[in-house]
């Protein structure tokens, strides 16, 4: 069995045609590659949705075998200061590309971690070296990128992957690695990953490493989260007025899975949408869930707050 990180790179798409999901974005990026010209790009969206993969695929298709000579990848959360922009980035950007493409590519991963001063320095660098370099900025939150940079980029917003996309990807790995999957396993991977393909890969490999037979229970255990049905049972007990049983089950789940109060809040929030109750009741419950989360973040005892939340479920009209 290979090391834990290997599957992530082994199954990373090498070309834009191989990218899972994000069809509209991929089609536009393919046009840039075809014309061998593109603006600065800003990729925004959750982790594990294909931002870095698309950037690397663009470089591979534009530059061919020599793509590494014309491509600089930097993690802005590690090198986030103004000196990095003034030295490393500027030195790479000012030299001409090797080959028949007139520009190099600099990928700034986690660009929303750059300081404001570094972003202002980057703005000038993007402007001054447009003839020899294009920038691709990856971030989770585009609102943390200053407006002058946003206005210089074509913005692409990546979305979490759908269940069908994850199924297609997992089937490919299962066929290559020789293990069996079914709809319950796909459902468990989708719930545990929330559309993050990198998380799917790591959960999958970790589970297979520990146990050759893949099961939903093993997936939830590796992911460190309770099964949706367990949370649904707690809420059902609370709504029916069985507060003590709901409390005991909640504490048991927190101990068994090592979940924090905030983890439980997130799971409860997801399950409320699925509950068979009027929307007016859901609205009241979400108000209480929000209050509970705020109090926990502010430092209140999480168990007391969660027990108070279960009591609100019992009292909701």
Domain boundary assignment for the chain: 22-157, 163-223, 228-315
pLDDT digits over 76-107, tens only? 666 655 666 677 778 888 888 887 888 999 99
Nearest by Cα to 275 from 221, 239, 225, 222:
239
CATH number for the segment(s) 22-157: 3.40.50.300
Q: What is the pTM of this model?
A: 0.80
The pair of three-digit structure tokens given for residue 306, joined into one six-digit string: 């969660």
pLDDT digits over 302-312, tens only? 999 999 999 98
pLDDT digits over 145-180, tens only? 999 999 999 999 999 999 999 999 999 888 888 888
- Which parts of the chain are beta strand (E)? 40-44, 71-75, 104-109, 133-139, 153-157
Q: Quick one: fold of 163-223?
A: Helicase, Ruva Protein; domain 3 (1.10.8)
What is the rounded average pLDDT of the residues 58-73?
90
Phi, psi of 80 (to 5 degrees): -110, 0
What is the rounded average pLDDT of the residues 36-42?
92
What is the rounded average pLDDT of the residues 119-130?
86
Class of domain 228-315: mainly alpha
How high is the pLDDT of residue 308? Answer: 93
pLDDT digits over 234-274, tens only? 999 998 889 999 999 999 988 888 888 898 998 899 888 88
């Amino acid at each position: 069995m290979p090391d834990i990180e290997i599957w992530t790179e082994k199954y990373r798409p090498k070309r834009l045609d191989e990218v899972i999901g994000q069809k509209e974005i991929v089609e536009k990026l393919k046009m840039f590659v075809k014309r061998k010209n593109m603006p600065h790009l800003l990729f925004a969206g959750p982790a594990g949705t294909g931002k870095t993969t698309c950037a690397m695929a663009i470089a591979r298709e534009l530059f061919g075998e020599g793509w590494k000579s014309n491509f600089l990848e930097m993690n802005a959360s590690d090198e986030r200061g103004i000196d990095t922009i003034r030295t490393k980035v500027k030195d790479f950007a000012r030299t001409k590309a090797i080959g028949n493409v007139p520009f190099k590519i600099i990928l700034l991963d986690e660009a929303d971690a750059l300081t404001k001063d570094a972003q202002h320095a980057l703005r000038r660098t993007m402007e001054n070296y447009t003839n020899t370099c294009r920038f691709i900025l990856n971030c989770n939150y585009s609102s943390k990128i200053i407006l002058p940079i946003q206005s210089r980029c074509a913005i692409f917003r990546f979305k979490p992957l759908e269940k069908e996309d994850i199924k297609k990807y997992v089937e490919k790995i299962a066929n290559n690695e020789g293990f069996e999957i079914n709809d319950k396993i796909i459902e468990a991977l989708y719930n545990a990953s929330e559309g993050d393909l990198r998380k799917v890969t790591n959960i999958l490999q970790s589970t297979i490493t520990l146990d050759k037979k893949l099961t939903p229970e093993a997936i939830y255990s590796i992911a460190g989260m309770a099964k949706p049905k367990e949370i649904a049972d707690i809420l059902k007990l609370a709504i029916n007025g069985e507060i003590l049983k709901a409390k005991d089950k909640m504490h048991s789940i927190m101990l068994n899975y090592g979940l924090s109060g905030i983890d439980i809040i997130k799971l409860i929030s997801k399950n409320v949408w699925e509950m068979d109750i009027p929307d007016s009741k859901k609205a009241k419950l979400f108000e209480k869930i929000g209050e509970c989360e705020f109090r926990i973040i502010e430092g209140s005892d999480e168990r007391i707050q969660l027990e108070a939340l279960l009591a609100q479920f019992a009292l909701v009209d």
